[in-house]
Amino acid sequence: MDKNLKNTKIISTLGFLSLIFLALIGYLYINNQTKTRLTSLKELDKTLPTAPQPSSMADKSYPQLKAKTGTFLNYPQAEKRSLLTLATAKTSIKPGESFELIVKLNAAGEVVDGVEFILKYDPRLLTAAEEVGEGSFFTIYPQKEVNNQEGSLRVIALQSPDDNKTLNEEVVVTFLMRALSRGSANLNFDLDKTHVAAYGGQELLKQAMPLTLTIQ
């Protein structure tokens, strides 16, 4: 009887030790799998793109005239000495008479990425044809818009990204216009929306000259 009791105790002890051993094996396996999973997550996190940080308004570049890609740390600061001017064959015209309006840019030998402008006129006195003639310097014209209801001409002209040509004086665009009635017709650039961009993004525009036509 004592022998049977002793055997039962031994079996119970072995069973208890087996349970402890199995529990230890399970713990080590789960711990190892957890470490492996954490390592994988850390490696995955390194490959994920970081969210962009919000920038201030001062950091935003002008939406239409953006600088060419590249490094401009060694490029000298451009001087604001460019002039936008208007030219016609004559400044005194008659009602019903048509004339060519030429928009010129003088950049004094600077490298120019592009120019944009809005030219205002009185739609009661002048009207412009829809077709806009392009100059020979700029090769890309993302926008050429004539609005005779508001009396405005909007142009964006860009140099090819592959070119870094300097500009002395060039024709940007030409417009065919017609006088409607007598009066003093003023053509003025909207200075808040008129820009000349140098290579590297510097503002080159010094002055945009208006023009007054006499219709009589």
pLDDT per residue over 19-60, tens digit each? 555 555 555 555 555 455 545 444 544 444 443 333 332 333
Where does 6-150 show beta strands of DSSP type E?
82-87, 92-93, 98-120, 126-134, 140-147
Q: What pLDDT is attached to residue 9?
A: 52
The pLDDT mean for the chain works out to: 78
pLDDT, tens only, 100-134: 999 999 999 999 999 999 999 999 999 999 999 99
Q: What is the pTM of this model?
A: 0.65
Q: What pLDDT is attached to residue 80?
A: 85
Question: Residue 79 — very low, low, confident or very high, per pLDDT cuts 50/70/90?
Answer: confident
Decide if pLDDT at 3 tops 70: no
Question: Residue 70 — very low, low, confident or very high, per pLDDT cuts 50/70/90?
Answer: very low
Decide if pLDDT at 61 tops 50: no
Residues near 101 by Cβ (< 8 Å), separated by ≥ 6?
86, 87, 88, 128, 174, 175, 176, 177, 187
Q: What pLDDT is attached to residue 81?
A: 85
Instruction: For residues 164-181, give the mean pLDDT.
Output: 95
**What is the spatial distance between Cα 40 and Cα 210, in angstroms, rounded to a whole number?**
66
CB atoms closer than 10 angstroms to residue 41? 9
The H-or-E segment that residue 38 falls in is: helix 2-47
Burial 50-69 (b: 16+ CB within 10 A, else e): eeeeeeeeeeeeeeebebbe
